[in-house]
C-alpha cells in the first residue's frame, strides 16, 4: 500500500484504523503453497476474523480452523464449506459440539481426554478425530507462545495420546495426530522436533490418513522451505495427507494500524509521543513485549474524519532531545499502554500520521473496550482500491448489550 492510499484512508475514516492489503495476503498464501506443496492449507481464524478477509481466503481455496462457536459461525458465514473447517482448541463445550454437528463439520482436533468424553457421548459416528499431542519440547519462542512446552496447557502427553488413539481407532474414527509447536517459530529445527514426536505414533498406527502440523511460522523472513523439508519427508514416508494451519504468516504483514500523534512530551529522562492508538487497539507490545515497526506516513497535520479522537495540540520545547530515548505511547492511563519502546522514529509533531506495521494478526482480534475505548474501523485494499470492511464503533455500541 502506498502512503497516498494510507493518507486517504486516514482522512476519510480517521484514526486509529486498521488497513489490510489483500494482495499481500494472496502473495503470502502463494509462498506457503510453494514451500508446502501438496499440503492442505487451513487458515487459523483466530489470527484475524474479519469477514472480508475470510471471504478472500475462501475464494483462494483455503480451508479454515475454528476454535469457538463464534469462529465457526464466522467461517460458515464467509462461505467456507463445513467439510473445509477443522474444529480445534482446548475449550470444547456441548453447544460447540452441537453447532459443529448441525453445521456438518466432520474433522475435530481433540485437546484432552475430557474433550473426547464430550464428543464420544454426543458426536455422530461420521466425525473423524485428530489427537493433539503435547510433545514436551522447547519450540524456541516466547514462553506465552510455546504451546509444545511440557508445562503448556495444550495437547495430550504421548502416553495418554497412545491410549486415547487406541480407543478412538477401535471405533473407526481416528484420522491422525496434530502438533502445533507454538507461534512466532523462527528456528526450522523445530520441524525436526515435531517429526521426532510424531514418528512413534505413526509407526504404531500405520493405517492413518492425516497429519496436522499446525502453523505458527514467524514473521518476517522465516525460512519456510527449511521448515517444510522434514515435514514433507515425514508425510511421504507414511503416505499421509498433510494439513497446516497458518494464521499470522498469511495476514500479519498485510496489515497496518494507522494512528495519529496527539501530544509530544519532552524534557524528562525519556521523550514520549502520545498516539491515539494503544493497548486497547493493539495489545501485543504490552502483553508479549512484541516489537512492531513504526514509520511516518504524513508529517503534516491531517484533517481527519470527525469523531476519530485525533484533535491534537502540541507543546513546543527548546530541548533538542539528542541522545534521549523515545517511547511511542497510547492514550490510556496504563504504563504498559505503549506501541514502541526506544523507538528510532524521532520527535514528531502532533498531527503526524504513523503506521504501525505487521499488525494484521492478533491486532483487532485482541482489541478491547478497556476504559470504554471504541474499537477501530477496518479497511481492506485490493488492487489499490480501498473499502470499509468494518465501521468504527460509536459510544452506543458500548452499552448495546446492556440492560438497565
* Phi-psi region at 123: left, alpha or beta (left = phi > 0; alpha = psi -120 to 50): beta
Nearest-angstrom CA–CA distance, 399 and 117: 38
Residues in the chain: 404
β-pairing verdict for 241-244 and 338-340: unpaired
Show Cβ contacts of residue 91 under 8 Å, excluding neighbours closer than 6 positions: 67, 68
333 tagged catalytic? yes
Nearest-angstrom CA–CA distance, 388 and 385: 10
For residue 349, how far is the Cα from the chain centroid? 32
* Candidate list 159, 170, 333, 401, residue with the active-site label: 333
Q: Which of 67, 176, 164 is nearest to 120 (CA)?
A: 164
Strands (E), 62-106: 63-66, 85-87
Within 13 Å of residue 189, how many CA atoms lie on the same side as its CB? 6
CB 247 within 8 Å of CB 67: no
For 81, the 3-state DSSP assignment is: coil
| Cα R_g (the chain), whole angstroms | 23
CB 266 within 8 Å of CB 64: no
Q: Within a 10 A sphere around the Cβ of 228, how many other Cβ atoms? A: 23
Q: Concatenated DSSP letters for 198-247? A: HHHHHHHSTT--EEE----B-TTT--HHHHHHHHHHHHHHTT-EEEE--S
For 351, the 3-state DSSP assignment is: coil
CB 64 within 8 Å of CB 42: yes
CB 311 within 8 Å of CB 301: no
Nearest-angstrom CA–CA distance, 329 and 313: 16
CB 158 within 8 Å of CB 135: yes
Q: Give the residue numbers annotated as catalytic, written as ranges.
A: 333
Amino acid at each position: 500500500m502506498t502512503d497516498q492510499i494510507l493518507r486517504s484512508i486516514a482522512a476519510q475514516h480517521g484514526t486509529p484504523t486498521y488497513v489490510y492489503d489483500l494482495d499481500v495476503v494472496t502473495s503470502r498464501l502463494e509462498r506457503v503453497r510453494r514451500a508446502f506443496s501438496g499440503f492442505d492449507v487451513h487458515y487459523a481464524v483466530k489470527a484475524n476474523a474479519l469477514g472480508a478477509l475470510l471471504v478472500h481466503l475462501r475464494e483462494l481455496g483455503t480451508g479454515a480452523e475454528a476454535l469457538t462457536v463464534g469462529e465457526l459461525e464466522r467461517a460458515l458465514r464467509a462461505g467456507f464449506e463445513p467439510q473445509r473447517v477443522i474444529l480445534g482448541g482446548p475449550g470444547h463445550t456441548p453447544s460447540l459440539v452441537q453447532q459443529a454437528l448441525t453445521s456438518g463439520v466432520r474433522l475435530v482436533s481433540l485437546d484432552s481426554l475430557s474433550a473426547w468424553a464430550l464428543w464420544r457421548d454426543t458426536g455422530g459416528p461420521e466425525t473423524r478425530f485428530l489427537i493433539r499431542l503435547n510433545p514436551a519440547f522447547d519450540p524456541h519462542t516466547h514462553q506465552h507462545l510455546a504451546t509444545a512446552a511440557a508445562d503448556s496447557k495444550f495437547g495430550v502427553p504421548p502416553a495418554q495420546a497412545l491410549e486415547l488413539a487406541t480407543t478412538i481407532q477401535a471405533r473407526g474414527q481416528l484420522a491422525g495426530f496434530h502438533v502445533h509447536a507454538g507461534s512466532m517459530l523462527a528456528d526450522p529445527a523445530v520441524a525436526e522436533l515435531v517429526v521426532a514426536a510424531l514418528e512413534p505414533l505413526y509407526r504404531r498406527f500405520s493405517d492413518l490418513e492425516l497429519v496436522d502440523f499446525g502453523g505458527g511460522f514467524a514473521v518476517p523472513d522465516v525460512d519456510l522451505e527449511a521448515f517444510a523439508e522434514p515435514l514433507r519427508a515425514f508425510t511421504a514416508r507414511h503416505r499421509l495427507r498433510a494439513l497446516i494451519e497458518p494464521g499470522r504468516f498469511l495476514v500479519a504483514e498485510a496489515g497496518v494500524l494507522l494512528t495519529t500523534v496527539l501530544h509530544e512530551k519532552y524534557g524528562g529522562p525519556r521523550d514520549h509521543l502520545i498516539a491515539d492508538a494503544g493497548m486497547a487497539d493493539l495489545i501485543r507490545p504490552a502483553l508479549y513485549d512484541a516489537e512492531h515497526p513504526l514509520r511516518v506516513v504524513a508529517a503534516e497535520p491531517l484533517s481527519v474524519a470527525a469523531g476519530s479522537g485525533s484533535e491534537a495540540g502540541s507543546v513546543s520545547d527548546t530541548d533538542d532531545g539528542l541522545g534521549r530515548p523515545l517511547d511511542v505511547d497510547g492514550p490510556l492511563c496504563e504504563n504498559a499502554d505503549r506501541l514502541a519502546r526506544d523507538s528510532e522514529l524521532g520527535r514528531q509533531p502532533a498531527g503526524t500520521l504513523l503506521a504501525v506495521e505487521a499488525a494484521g494478526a492478533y491486532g483487532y482480534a485482541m482489541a478491547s473496550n478497556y476504559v470504554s475505548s471504541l474499537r477501530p474501523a477496518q479497511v481492506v485494499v485490493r488492487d489499490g482500491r480501498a473499502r470499509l470492511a468494518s465501521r468504527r464503533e460509536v459510544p452506543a455500541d458500548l452499552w448495546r448489550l446492556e440492560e438497565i
